[in-house]
């Protein structure tokens, strides 16, 4: 399992690929309101994350992902299963 810092780094790299504007990304940033991703963009990010980490994110988990940190914590939990 990757460390929190490694998971955060990869997650931020994936998010930046889908963002329109170049800006710093912090763990507390809201994926839609702060980073400007719409629902389609979020689904593209999820697909890239699932591919990169070789996991499937269940829909009940997806429904609770609002911030970058939420994503990283969910990935950490899913990787430990």
Backbone φ/ψ region at 19: left (φ over 0), alpha (ψ -120 to 50), beta: beta
Per-residue pLDDT tens for 28-71? Answer: 999 999 999 999 999 999 999 999 999 999 999 999 999 999 99
Give the structural domain span for 71: 4-79
Q: Could you give the number of structural domains in the chain?
A: 1
| pTM of this structure | 0.92
pLDDT, residue 48, reads: 98
Q: 24: domain CATH number?
A: 1.10.1200.10
Contacts of 20 (CB under 8 A, 6+ apart): 36
The separation between CA 42 and the C-alpha centre of its own chain, rounded to angstroms, equals 8
pLDDT at residue 27 tops 80: yes
Q: Is 17 exposed, middle or buried (0-12, 13-18, 19+ CB in 10 A)?
A: exposed
């Amino acid at each position: 399992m990757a460390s929190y810092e490694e998971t955060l780094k990869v997650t931020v790299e994936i998010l930046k690929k889908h963002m329109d504007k170049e800006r710093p990304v912090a763990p507390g940033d809201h994926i839609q309101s702060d980073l400007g991703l719409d629902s389609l963009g979020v689904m593209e990010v999820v697909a890239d994350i699932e591919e990169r980490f070789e996991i499937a994110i269940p829909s009940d988990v997806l429904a609770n992902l609002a911030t970058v940190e939420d994503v990283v914590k969910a990935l950490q939990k899913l990787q430990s299963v």
